[in-house]
Structure 1
């Protein structure tokens, strides 16, 4: 399984073509737990159904192993109807992290007459500004870092949480073992993991009609809880003045193509397209996030495709505020596939930079498309690789068209649903209310739609 592992973050692609074959062979042989579901998200050619199979295999033995402890704990619930729900959020990212930046304004906009918010944190306290802001927004902030899964689940139950929202899924440091013990009567998969968790871990996944049309319900173990626009929240963080190009190492002239996705999302096929764009657009550069592990390999891959390595410009990691400032210098963001941009996409749109994305059939591949719908720019969603290249080439070759696309996006931003945290919070609360009404009335989970706010 080396082709699925650490070499992806290094962009060492010698055996990349084996990744799909290796994954399918393992899934076909039903090797439970052989492939971490997160790794499969970036493997080309895998379907949403195969992503579900991977999650089911990953959780199968773990669910069985947790069943005795779940029976011992035997959590009971008060299912009487109430106007004010207790909603708990489970994560280790309650600090200066992309998930926190996406969610904070929606949390702050929740109607406290209808919802009591609790955090269950199992991550480090960085004592930063975002950590303090999160402490302030939650009615209860419970640090369960040192607790076992059983003790953490007991803490959730003791807080009488009605709806437990998991923000981690199968990303790094996740503790799905807490969810397997079912400490809350309703459990929700949201935001942190772009796919299904499998098994009976969560009742719902928060999504939107573009991300997961009803026709693909069989590819998810959770019922769909539909937001009216994009499933992803994003606030209105201040945009400081853009730096000069020279200050961030960009040339004075020429198109700046940009992708600030992590390097493990890059594939040879996508990099081929990027190099064709660079070759067809004189004086252009490709602006990427710095990576000590990947930079040398990426420069070598560019050279093998006939592109001067110096046309790759690497941006160091920085604070969120500085990141948003410098993003304004990009001309066009190029999405990856099959694991596309998530927070990096909505950040770029907030900074006024168009994105070209190619939507597949998996959750991880459709996020940028969902965001583009929510800012009124669906024409930037390509149907396939050829269309992706054509859309990007057209914008790069016609400066007036690119300027018009940026101007339209900038005009759309103030009223775009993607950046309306208050409306987002109202729709999210509506979903929580519907989940609770179903559960308290004895109904099974099923698809639900939030009203437009």
Structure 2
């Protein structure tokens, strides 16, 4: 087996490389995860019925498992903190499998308190977690990591659930045949789809003064806590999105704060997220440009 590429899939989606090359990089990691999974020599899993499972109370509910290392103070929880507890409990039974230990944050505590089943599996092995998921009769398992820090995609390679989905954490395809669906939101307009994006990207710090930006208008800051980060939006009149990899959670933050953005969609999913966010505001077409 060849070595996995030095360029990781998460970096590949933000580099200016051909999408097919990015896909091939992801597939190399898929092969690696499959080899690791095969070393455990697990027998084939028995899957629950496709229909919702009948509970003790007599009603049938769909069992959905969310799988992530980011249940805590992380952009994923900032975006999805309410989602896990919002499912209709008469029809859906939700399990959250946490790959990270409790960080004591409000985000972790909120998810734990709102979801029906929250299980910390951070100290468990790949095979133990896979068996647990299968024994819980999960019918749809949602991968919220993809190729991000803390991911354990080897578990998905073991296929403990009959339907496995990639969502939110990784803005692109995993390239895995054991991930059956990618949940995404894209927008396409003929002028944008057919446009050849050949414009040179200008890096602001190098040309700021020549373009009329005063030195005291450029403020370099360190990473800030969520509340402070949101407050910074009030310092600006406009948010300039980054084309090669859009602002995703940050884009949501600034729009929620009432700060308009300008975004240039390109071809990859990671370059089109901000445009989708803009359209969700109902005035998005004014914030989306093609050059």
TM-score range, shorter chain: 0.7 to 0.9
**1:266-305 aligned within 5 A:** 270-272=201-203, 275-276=206-207, 279-283=210-214
Paired position in structure 2 for 1:382:
289
Of 355, 366, 373, the residue aligned with 2:272 is 366
Give secondary structure in 2 for the equivalent of 1:200: coil
Q: Distance in 2 between matches of 1:184 and 1:272?
A: 46
Residues 67-86 of structure 1, C-alpha deviations (whole Å, 9 max, x = no match): 3646x331111224224111
Paired position in structure 1 for 2:55:
none
Of 132, 138, 145, the residue aligned with 2:109 is 132
Give secondary structure in 1 for the equivalent of 2:111: helix
Q: 1:66 Cα shift?
A: 2.5
Q: 1:271 Cα shift?
A: 4.7
Paired position in structure 2 for 1:39:
11
Distance 1:278 1:160, change over 3 A: farther
**1:12-27 aligned within 5 A:** none
Give secondary structure in 2 for the equivalent of 1:341: coil
State the TM-score, normalizing by the size of structure 1.
0.56
Q: 1:203 Cα shift?
A: 0.6
Of 96, 99, 109, the residue aligned with 2:76 is 99
Paired position in structure 2 for 1:204:
181
**1:336-347 aligned within 5 A:** 336-347=242-253
Q: Distance in 1 between matches of 2:91 and 2:207?
A: 53
Q: Distance in 2 between matches of 1:185 and 1:142?
A: 20
Of 192, 208, 223, the residue aligned with 2:169 is 192
**1:69-80 aligned within 5 A:** 69=40, 72-80=42-50
Paired position in structure 1 for 2:256:
350
Q: Distance in 2 between matches of 1:42 and 1:101?
A: 22
Distance 1:186 1:177, change over 3 A: same
- Are 1:155 and 2:132 counterparts? yes
- Are 1:168 and 2:163 counterparts? no
Paired position in structure 2 for 1:319:
225
Question: Post-superposition, which runs of at least 4 consecutive aligned residues in structure 1 deviate over 6 A?
Answer: none
Over the aligned positions, Cα root-mean-square deviation in angstroms equals 2.5
Q: Distance in 2 between matches of 1:64 and 1:208?
A: 32
Give secondary structure in 2 for the equivalent of 1:381: coil
Q: 1:312 Cα shift?
A: 2.7
Q: 1:198 Cα shift?
A: 1.1
Give secondary structure in 1 for the equivalent of 2:262: strand
Contact 1:96 1:130 in 2 (8 A): yes
Paired position in structure 1 for 2:38:
67
Q: 1:165 Cα shift?
A: 0.5
Q: 1:335 Cα shift?
A: 1.1
Query: Structure 2: any 5+ residue segments left out of the alignment?
Result: 53-59, 194-199
Q: 1:167 Cα shift?
A: 0.7
Contact 1:360 1:366 in 2 (8 A): yes
Structure with the bigger percentage of helix = 1
Q: Distance in 2 between matches of 1:279 and 1:48?
A: 35
Query: Structure 1: any 5+ residue segments left out of the alignment?
Result: 1-29, 217-268, 284-307, 388-453
Q: How many aligned positions are there?
A: 274
Paired position in structure 2 for 1:120:
97
Residues 259-297 of structure 1, C-alpha deviations (whole Å, 9 max, x = no match): xxxxxxxxxx645356546532343xxxxxxxxxxxxxx
Paired position in structure 2 for 1:241:
none
Contact 2:36 2:154 in 1 (8 A): no
Contact 2:48 2:138 in 1 (8 A): no
Q: Distance in 1 between matches of 2:43 and 2:110?
A: 34
Q: 1:325 Cα shift?
A: 2.4
Contact 1:86 1:116 in 2 (8 A): yes
Q: Distance in 1 between matches of 2:50 and 2:288?
A: 45
Q: Distance in 1 between matches of 2:125 and 2:147?
A: 18
